[in-house]
Structures are given as structure tokens and as C-alpha cells.
Amino acid sequence: MSKRVVITGLGPVCPNGVGIDKKEFWYNISNGNQISDFLPRVEQRGYGLVQACIFKDFNLDTYFAEDRKNGNLNRKAYAKLRYDDKSIQFGVLAAKLALEDSGIEYDPEDNHIGVYFGNAEEAIYSTEQASIAVFQRVFKKTFKHFKKHINPFNFFKIKKELEGYLPLLEEERLEDFVDLLSKTCGNLHSFTPPSSVNYKSYAIPGKIASFFNLHGPGRAINTGCASGLDAIGLAAFAIKHGYIEAAVAGGSEAPISLQAISSLGNLGVLSKTLPKPFCIDRDGFAIAEGAGGVVLEERESAIKRGAKIYAEIKGYGSTNDANLQTCMIDPYGTYLAKAMKIALNSSELNTDEIDYINVHGTATPQCEPAETAAVKYVFNADSKKLNLSGTKSMTGHSIGAVGGIETIISACAIQENIVPPTINLLKPDPVCDLNNTPNVAQEREINNAMILSMGFGGYNSAMILGK
């Protein structure tokens, strides 16, 4: 028999706020506080102005200080965590906050608690830094004058030596250049640090499981920007059908790197002004870092132990546009609408029972019109009764983590009966003509909320939370 699944712990790790009590996080979301800013150094590197939501002074020790003081910490595991990529640190911290918030107790040697975490960009910053380190070591070993300190007296020697290699850098001779480097240095990849095995998505649920002794299945989900929501949806499915007893689920991402910024910038999806979903002059999203973790449990078990229940996961659906181009969005939201219908069918709710939709809302030219079309198609006349909001206007877009963060936002909205706003909505796009909750939060009885996520690769996901 299928079981009912509830959320009993929330762990937001977001520039808007971090902490077990969620007060700062929810205060900033419900009050529409803007936190995005221009990335330092990016303009000087030729990328122009890029909006981002980042932790300006993130220090892992701040959040583990009490555990270290009380000795409630595996010091060896924590010492390793401090040197891991921030995508892993964010994920472990989100899991810690969610587990502490839930108050769930379990046998660290004998449990079947799963870890389902989404991540799209992998440890892109650490990978980029490792590539730079490899390049530097190869460079220094190949060009002998770089072994010396660069100064005006040997500059011309370096310049002359570099000019001698320029003919090998022609496109048709690049393989000759690689052969030359290999003869000089041996295996070029031998400089790759062993820690690079942690630069993959699988490291995040693996680290969470080992840090908290969770012995159920671990799953790394990569469905682009839908990763975090899909991770929660799949974890809920596993509990619903009795495969696991509970789960920590969500998403984590640390995408602030020159590679990510340049690729997304060239794609034209990064804002150079402000993230403003549903606006006629929207120009993209603010790239963001962070994580969102939740604890999921079977409802009767949670009630029995007296857990606080934030919301019930009532429905979930996912589809794929199957586009030939990875980054295309179906302008009619055809398969997003199908995912919404699957979620509604699995929840056994009617369209008039949904009060609020947290839309994907990336503030790109294609996104909100497609979502608006899908909502109108699925909800028909009931679409005019809904409140929608694009909370990425406040949190930024943390790619694979954002589904976890928006699940936390929607659970808080249900608890507080407050619809968070879409900020910066000053010039509404007439195509996006639903109630998008412009600029100021609205009080409203929220019995059921829907969350939408859309990812590169054509992924569409919809989840329904309810009281």
C-alpha cells in the first residue's frame, strides 16, 4: 500500500539566510529583499556586468562551531569537508540543518535513510582551479624561464621562448604541441590532483551519507535546473512505496566560476541589470550559489514521534520536451503542462484546490511566457484565481539547488499563509497576464501549492505540497 509523505525538516543554505530557525531566510523572502549584486572582477575579465547572489564571507566553521565545541562531530570527516568544493559543503550543511530541524532519531549503524541530492554543474569551480593548476605546472616545466621569478630582466628571454612555440599553436598543429609537451613532461594528466574524484555530482550525496551515517540508497540527480525538485520527488516516491523509511533530499550548487559565467553569458541568460521575471524588459537571471535540503518521512511515523510537519508532498510529475537543441524551451509549455497534470492526478486534487504556484521564472525571454501558457492550459478559468511568484528574483538561480530552495519557500508559504512576491516587477509583460504577486507579498490561505522546475535538456517537473 502507498504511504503518505511529509516534510519534517527544512535546511536553507542561501545568501538570503542560513539557519535552523529559518527566520532570516523567510524574513528576506516574504519581505522581498534584494540580495543580488554585480560579481567582482568579472567585468575586468571581459564578461561585462553580471548579476549574482553569493555568500560574501562563507565560513563553514561558523555553522559547525557548536558541534565542534560539544564534540558532536567526526573531526576527521569535518577536516576533509573543509577542503571540499563548496557544492559539497553547502549540501552537507543543508542536510545538517534539515536533520536538526526535523529532530529525527536513528541508529547510526542500522538505518535505511536515503540521500537524494540534485546538482547540475558538479564542482565546476574546483575543476576549473585544478585545470589551471595542471596548466601552470606543465607550463613551468616546459618553459624553463618560468621556473625563475618573472621580472623585467628576464622578460625578453621568456617572450623569445614563447614566440618559438607559436607556430605549434596553429590549429592544424595542436596535436604536435601536445606531443611536445608529453615528451617534455610525461603524462600531462599526472598533475591532476587526487581530490578531483570529488569533483562529481555523486560526491554530494556520498559525503552527506558518510557525514551523518545514513545507510539507505544514495542518489545523485542531474536533470539540469530541475535536479533539486526531481531529487525530492524521487525520494518521496521511494518512501511512498516503502523502499526507504525516510530521506534527506534537495539540491546543492556552487556554480560561480569563469567557465559557467562565460557559457551562460554567451547563451544570453545572465542578467546585467536585475533579475525581473514577468517583465517586458527582463534580461536573464542572477547566477547564485547555495543549497536547499529537506527531511522526508512517512506521515504516520512522523505523527507518532510528534514531529512538526511543514507540508505533505501530495503529487509529483515529470516529462521531457525531447527537443533537438538542449537549451530550447517549448514556447507553448506543452510538456510542462503534462507534468503539471501528472502531479495533479497523483495528488487527486482539482485545479480549483491549488492556491499558489512557485514558477521557474528565470526572467529569460522564453521562460515565463511558456509557463504562463502552460498554467492557462491546465487551470483554464481557475488560472485567474491563482497567485504565482518568481522567487528567483530574490534568491537568484542556483541551477541544480533551486528546486530544494523553492520547496522550502513553498513549505514556509503554506505554514505562514503568505505568498512571497516577485520583486522588480515594474514593467509587466502583457503576455504574462496572471496574478504574479508583484513586488509585495500577499496574505492568503494556502492549502496547496505547486512548484515548477524546467531544466536544460528539456526536463520539466511539477510538485504539489499541501497542508
C-alpha pair distances (Å), 410 with each of 33, 255, 339, 341, 403: 17, 24, 18, 19, 10
> H-helix or E-strand containing 328?
none
Residue of 53, 225, 367, 432 marked catalytic: 225
Q: What is d(CA 464, CA 453) in angstroms, rounded to the nearest whole number?
A: 12
Cell of 376: 492557462
Which of 279, 367, 397, 432 is labelled catalytic? 397
CA distances from 111 to 6, 106, 247, 305 (A): 19, 6, 11, 16
Q: At what angle do helices 124-142 and 258-267 cross, to 10 degrees?
A: 110
Going from the C-alpha of 132 to that of each of 127, 145, 262, 362, 463, the distances in angstroms are: 9, 19, 16, 31, 40
Which candidate, 352, 400, 321, places its Cα nearest to that of 119?
Answer: 400
Q: How far apart are CA 442 and CA 225, in angstroms?
A: 27
CA triple 229-234-237, angle to 5 deg: 130
User: Distance between CA 108 and CA 90 in Å, rounded?
Assistant: 22
Chain center to CA of 172: 40
Q: For this structure, is 397 an active site residue?
A: yes
Q: What distance in Å separates the CA atoms of residue 10 and residue 412, rounded to the nearest whole number?
A: 9
| 149 flagged as catalytic | no
Q: Which class for 299: exposed (0-12), middle (13-18), buried (19 or more C-beta within 10 A)? A: middle
Selected catalytic residue, list 14, 53, 279, 360: 360
Q: Are 252 and 362 in contact (CB under 8 A)?
A: no
Separation of alpha carbons 132 and 141, rounded Å: 14
- 145 catalytic per annotation: no
Which residues in 110-123 are b (16+ Cβ under 10 Å) and which e? ebebbbbbbbbbbb
Residue 138 phi/psi, 5° resolution? -65, -40
174 grid coordinates: 595542436
Cite the active site residues.
225, 360, 397
